[in-house]
Amino acid sequence: MVERVVHSAADLEYAADLVTDEGQLAKAHAALHAGAPVVVDVEMVGAGITRRETVCRLRDAVAGPGLTRSAHAIRLAYEQVGPGALWVIGNAPTALEELLTLDAAPVLVIGLPVGFVGAVESKAALRESGLPAVSNVSEKGGSAVAAAALNALLYHPTSEETL
């Protein structure tokens, strides 16, 4: 996964910045190849994910008092897919923050929102949540990086493919 992320961003600093757990990645890999749904925060993340349909509800979402459009989209997606999905957040820190308030029981959260406002804090909250996760500690991230992380799981062969 680290190799794909470094390659997608052309940024070697991800080798030290990315936080992953091999056991969690193995479980997510198995769930993904067994058909677990993939939810993305923005269509750009979904466009970068190959070989798999994704759920993105941003077009249906509306902002409200104390609720960003991105956060509402996460609520809508959870209503659609329920527990056991893989969540890929590459753009909006508020989407990641909203996911952490839900009882989503994710297989994996790839939390790589980018930016100087809320991104570092939302990723730290993800790591502190105890949820199975991939994140990084800096402001870096984004759609291409988040999609690359999920694609690493998609393209890694299953045990049946290696026989």
Strand, coil or helix: what is 97?
A: helix
33 is catalytic: no
Contacts of 66 (CB under 8 A, 6+ apart): none
Burial string for 29-50 (b: 16+ CB within 10 Å, else e) reads: bebbbeebbbbbbbebbbebbe
**Neighbouring C-beta atoms of residue 94, cutoff 10 Å:** 23
| DSSP strand pairing (133-136 vs 18-19) | antiparallel
Of 7, 29, 33, 156, which one is the catalytic site residue? Answer: 7
Q: Give the relative orientation of helices 93-101 and 119-129 as an angle to the nearest 10 degrees.
A: 30
Could you give the residue numbers annotated as active site? Answer: 7
